[in-house]
């Protein structure tokens, strides 16, 4: 045992020596550097809290390594709390960004796990760290970090801590060949009588969350109770050996602890573990359905939808599947594509759209809010008129034909005919015909086109009906008058010529 460590029971020292020397099965041990210089710790009475470190040179919780230190308590911090120390908590992400700048974006993040998979162990116990990367181990060394300092380099993907001491408490990371720095894992080497062991790895929603309450000596704890945020949850989840939540949810994050009865000489003492903050991480965020265009969706135009979600950086290998719905009916999926495309939409595509995201090998699925999409017809535009005879002048009794057309507009288009100054609808259809035009058909004509939206009106066209009397004056009487006038002028000219040639006769 480290110098200065004391228990409130006389047998603690000999027990600690026995535990430190216990053989452990498993992978070949990699010796850690030294065991001296351990900080001393004061024991606790049956009614006291967890041990308080006496401020030795080796701090039990180096700043930023993922613990809350309050009155001597060592509590792993939840994700939200660790963001306060962004420079340390985000270092793997910053490393990844740096790798992308250097052209190493294709590399993966190494995955660090422990065996056994607990964040807290007793002094003298052993634990194996395993680093899994994108390339097999042995080609290049695996680098191990303790509190952001290089701990060792190994030719294998494992690092074993034997006969653990308090100075090995801290945050561990690794970097395997071809990968960037791994996720951090917090390890606590405890000197308490009773500990609560929770997973050292990240636990995501939908996964099995197990924890166990252990005493310093095997089988020494009875009447175990588990608490979350002060509430007893023993009867709901606990079995004889462990407490397991089969499908963890984010709202089940909280402060966990356990209590148990332990024999102490001739008495039974109730002991309590340190309180640990367990975080159930969100595997992926709630999806949001995004429509590519913010303008209204017109008939015949493309429709592009995206199901936007964010996968946790702590689970980069997870595979997500996407489904798209309209009015509750599956349109596409499950597929790994987060996009949905309709080349040309019609009115039948109007409805409430949503998307769903599922995680492979997980019971977690999340659905977006519904987004109403109304497909509208292309509005009528460019309404124009054509008339025969040309320019709208027709002789009385002749046939007059008007035609209406549109430059743009989809769907079933209806046409109606109107004359200025009259509320009467003259006709319907693309053509309006007057078989025998009369003088009272004079006026300004126009058509109105509609496809169920806002009606569009054509420019007005002037129609002139020319009567028979007008034609007589224009085509018969006018030439006769011109002919008579011409004869009169010719006679006057002849008289003038004759008089100018016989001046004598004029005097007689």
pLDDT at 41: 34
Please tell me the distance from the alpha carbon of residue 504 to that of residue 109, in angstroms, as a whole number: 136
CA angle 152, 40, 19 (to 5 degrees): 65
Please report which residue ranges of 219-336 form alpha helices under DSSP H.
234-237
pLDDT at 481: 60
Neighbours of 399 (CB within 10 A): 12
Judge whether 216 and 15 are in contact, CB under 8 Å. yes
pLDDT tens column, 222-263: 889 999 999 999 988 777 678 999 999 999 999 999 999 988
Please tell me the distance from the alpha carbon of residue 249 to that of residue 203, in angstroms, as a whole number: 10
Give pLDDT < 70 ranges for the chain.
1-107, 135-138, 240, 294, 468-485, 494-498, 500-508
* Residues whose CB falls within 8 Å of the CB of residue 371, separated by 6 or more in sequence, listed in order: 289, 291, 352, 353, 354
Please tell me the distance from the alpha carbon of residue 345 to that of residue 352, in angstroms, as a whole number: 14
Please tell me the distance from the alpha carbon of residue 184 to that of residue 173, in angstroms, as a whole number: 5
Judge whether 290 and 369 are in contact, CB under 8 Å. no
Q: Kindly tell me the sign of the dihedral angle through the C-alpha atoms of 292, 296, 299, 301.
A: negative
DSSP string, 125-178: --EEEEEE-SS-TTSSPEEEEETTEEEEEESSSEEEE-S--GGG-EEEEEE-TT
Please tell me the distance from the alpha carbon of residue 7 to that of residue 265, in angstroms, as a whole number: 14
Please, which residues bridge with residue 311 across strands? 284
- Please give the structure tokens belonging to residue 148: 């952001």
- Cα–Cα nearest to 28, from 200, 171, 161: 161
DSSP string, 464-504: EEE-HHHHHIIIIIHHHHHHHHHHHHHHHHHHHHHHHH-HH
Please tell me the distance from the alpha carbon of residue 472 to that of residue 481, in angstroms, as a whole number: 13
- Please give the structure tokens belonging to residue 17: 């020596």
Please tell me the distance from the alpha carbon of residue 163 to that of residue 127, in angstroms, as a whole number: 9
- Please give the structure tokens belonging to residue 345: 């939409």
Judge whether 272 and 194 are in contact, CB under 8 Å. yes
Identify the residue whose tokens are 């019609």. 346
pLDDT at 460: 92
> In the sheet where 384-388 sits, what is the strand order?
384-388, 400-405, 431-434
- Distances in Å between the Cα of 339 and the Cα atoms of 291, 342, 357, 418, 429 are 10, 10, 12, 49, 43
Identify the residue whose tokens are 């166990």. 212
- Cα–Cα nearest to 74, from 172, 229, 174, 196: 196
What letter would DSSP give residue 65?
S
Peptide bond into 334 cis (omega under 30): yes
Neighbours of 228 (CB within 10 A): 18
Please tell me the distance from the alpha carbon of residue 408 to that of residue 418, in angstroms, as a whole number: 21
Q: Report helix, strand or coil for 314.
A: coil
């Amino acid at each position: 045992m480290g110098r200065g460590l004391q228990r409130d029971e006389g047998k603690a020292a000999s027990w600690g020596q026995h535990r430190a020397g216990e053989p452990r099965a498993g992978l070949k041990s990699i010796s850690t550097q030294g065991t001296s210089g351990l900080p001393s710790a004061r024991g606790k009475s049956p009614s006291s809290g967890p041990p308080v470190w006496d401020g030795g040179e080796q701090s039990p919780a180096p700043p930023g390594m993922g613990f809350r230190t309050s009155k001597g308590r060592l509590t792993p911090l939840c994700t939200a709390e660790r963001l306060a120390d962004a420079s340390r908590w985000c270092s793997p992400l910053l490393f990844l960004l740096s790798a992308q700048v250097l052209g190493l974006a294709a590399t993966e993040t190494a995955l660090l796990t422990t065996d056994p998979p607990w964040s807290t162990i007793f002094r003298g116990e052993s634990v194996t760290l395993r680093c899994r990367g994108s390339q097999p181990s042995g080609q290049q060394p695996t680098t191990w970090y303790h509190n952001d300092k290089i701990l060792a380099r190994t030719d294998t993907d494992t690092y074993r801590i034997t006969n653990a001491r308090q100075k090995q408490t801290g945050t561990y990371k690794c970097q395997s060949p071809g990968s960037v720095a791994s996720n951090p894992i917090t390890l606590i080497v405890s000197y308490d009588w009773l500990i609560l062991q929770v997973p050292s790895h990240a636990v995501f929603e939908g996964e099995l969350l197990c924890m166990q309450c252990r005493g310093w000596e095997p089988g020494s704890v009875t009447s175990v109770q588990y608490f979350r945020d002060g509430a007893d949850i023993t009867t709901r989840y606990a079995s004889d050996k462990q407490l397991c939540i089969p499908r963890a949810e984010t709202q089940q994050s909280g402060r966990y602890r356990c209590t148990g009865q332990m024999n102490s000489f001739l008495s039974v003492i109730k002991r309590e573990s340190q309180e640990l903050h367990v975080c159930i991480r969100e595997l992926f965020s709630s999806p949001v359905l995004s429509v590519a265009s913010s303008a209204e969706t017109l008939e015949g135009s493309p429709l592009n939808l995206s199901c936007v979600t964010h996968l946790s950086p702590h689970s980069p290998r997870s595979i997500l599947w996407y489904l798209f719905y309209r009015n509750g009916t599956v349109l596409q999926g499950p597929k790994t594509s987060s996009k949905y495309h309709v080349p040309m939409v019609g009115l039948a595509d109007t409805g409430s759209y949503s998307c769903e995201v599922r995680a492979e090998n997980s019971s977690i699925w999340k659905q977006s809010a519904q987004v109403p999409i109304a497909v509208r017809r292309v509005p009528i535009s460019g309404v124009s008129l054509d008339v025969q005879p040309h320019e709208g002048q027709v002789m009385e009794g002749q046939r007059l034909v008007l035609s209406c057309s549109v430059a743009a507009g989809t769907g079933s288009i209806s046409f109606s005919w109107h004359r200025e100054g009259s509320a009467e609808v003259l006709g319907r259809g693309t053509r309006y015909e007057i078989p025998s035009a009369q003088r009272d058909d004079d006026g300004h004509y126009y058509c109105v086109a509609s496809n169920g939206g806002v009606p569009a009106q054509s420019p007005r066209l002037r129609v002139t009906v020319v009567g028979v009397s007008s034609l007589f004056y224009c085509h018969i009487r006018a030439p006769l008058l011109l002919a008579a006038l011409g004869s009169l002028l010719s006679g006057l000219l002849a008289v003038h010529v004759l008089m100018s040639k016989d001046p004598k006769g004029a005097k007689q």
